DNA sequence: GCATTAACCACAG
DNA sequence: CTGTGGTTAATGC
């Protein structure tokens, strides 16, 4: 008894390209798991032979570095794959994934995933396309982190949540100030100060974790000039 | 020199 | 977990 991937409304772009047989192979070899906000989905330094497919929810990918310093690599929004690089590239996880909202993930065995890649070029192409876009985003972020100042990076973070993650100018931050600092290589104090500053300057309306963008043009300017 | 930026510390809600 | 104030160090006119 497996899952009916073909009727799952969260089916990925790549899965839609599978034939019936491949689809049922996938359905018979995956398991859906639910995670609460704060739950660890997979952990750095542990062994894994699964690819995750994030069906719903929001996840942070993070890596513990020197002196235990935590760095958030990215915020992953459903639908997307989780852990393709670390599962295919290494047997031991190179980073962790933690739910920052209630989340559901389908785990697919790596062997099955590899068989799909080897047997279906369209599927492989979709995966490559996905990973290329991902890598370009990381190159850009890498550049920004080096070249922008903290204000610009905080502005970027707000814009990312508004434009890409929540698709609304009014949302609740799923991260603490400390986590935002871990995301942009800053300190919790700086993030706190910059957010208050944006609030006082009427660029955003800030109430704890609640953010409403009041002056989008200015925010974009800060992002571009910062 | 003087200004800016931001990290680190401490302490208070 | 946050917000602020003081301090300190680096960098750039």
- Closest nucleotide to A175's CA, by C1' atom? C1
Do A105 and A214 belong to one domain?
Answer: no
Å: A197 CA to B11 C1': 21
pLDDT at site A51:
94
Query: Domain range for residue A191?
Result: 148-225
Q: What pLDDT is recorded for position A53? A: 92
The reply to whether A12 and A100 lie within a common domain is yes
Query: What does the pLDDT average to over A99-118?
Result: 94
Give yes or no: residues A63 and A161 share one domain: no
> In this complex, which residue's CA is closest to the C1' atom of nucleotide B5?
A149
pLDDT band at A14 (very low <50, low <70, confident <90, very high): confident
CB A105 within 8 A of CB A54: yes
Q: What DSSP designation does A171 have?
A: E
Domain count of the fold of chain A: 2
CATH number at residue A217: 1.10.10.10
Q: What is the pLDDT of residues A115-145, one digit of tens each?
A: 989 999 999 999 999 999 999 999 999 999 9
Domain end, chosen from A122, A144, A166, is at A144
CA–CA distance, A13 with A143 (Å, rounded to integer): 29
Which chain B nucleotides are covered by protein, judged by CB under 7 A? Answer: 5-10
Quick check: pTM over 0.85?
yes
Nucleotides of strand C within 7 Å of the protein's CB atoms: 1-6
Protein CA at A180 to nucleotide C1' at B11, angstroms: 23
Structure tokens at A20: 């019936």
**A112 shares its domain with A206:** no
E strands present in chain A: 30-35, 40-42, 50-56, 58-64, 70-77, 80-82, 96-99, 103-109, 170-172, 204-207, 210-213
Three-state secondary structure call for residue A103: strand
Percent of chain A whose pLDDT exceeds 90: 79
All protein residues with a CB under 7 A from any atom of strand B: A 149-151, 185-187, 189-190
Mean pLDDT value across chain A: 92
Q: Please tell me which of A11-15, A25-29, A202-206 the model is most confident about, judged by mean pLDDT.
A: A202-206
Average pLDDT over residues A69-76: 95
DSSP A114: H
Beta pairing, strands A204-207 & A96-99: unpaired
Compute the average pLDDT of residues A186-213: 96
CA dihedral A76, A80, A82, A87 (to 10 degrees): -140
Among A52-56, A93-97, A175-179, A180-184, the minimum mean pLDDT is found in: A52-56
Token pair belonging to A137: 């985003």
Task: Measure A150 CA to C3 C1' (Å).
Answer: 18
- Asked if residue A153 and residue A165 are part of one domain, the reply reads yes
């Amino acid at each position: 008894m497996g899952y009916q991937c073909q009727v799952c409304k969260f089916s990925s772009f790549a899965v839609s390209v599978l034939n019936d047989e491949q689809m049922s192979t996938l359905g018979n070899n995956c398991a859906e798991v639910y995670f609460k906000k704060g739950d660890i989905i997979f952990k750095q330094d542990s062994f894994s032979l699964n690819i995750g497919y994030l069906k719903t929810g929001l996840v942070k990918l993070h890596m513990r570095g020197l002196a235990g310093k935590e760095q958030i690599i990215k915020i992953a929004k459903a639908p997307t794959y989780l852990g393709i690089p670390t599962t295919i590239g290494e047997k031991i996880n190179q980073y962790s994934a933690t739910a920052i909202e209630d989340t559901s993930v389908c785990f697919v065995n790596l062997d099955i995933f590899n068989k799909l890649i080897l047997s279906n070029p369209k599927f492989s192409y979709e995966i490559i396309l996905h990973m290329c876009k991902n890598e370009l985003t990381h190159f850009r972020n890498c550049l920004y982190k080096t070249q922008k100042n903290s204000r610009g990076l905080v502005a970027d973070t707000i814009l990312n949540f508004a434009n890409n993650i929540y698709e609304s100018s009014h949302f609740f931050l799923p991260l603490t100030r400390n986590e935002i600092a871990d995301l942009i290589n800053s300190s919790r104090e700086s993030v706190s100060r910059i957010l208050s500053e944006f609030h006082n300057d009427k660029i955003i309306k800030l109430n704890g974790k609640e953010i409403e963008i009041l002056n989008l043009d200015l925010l974009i300017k800060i992002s571009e000039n910062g």
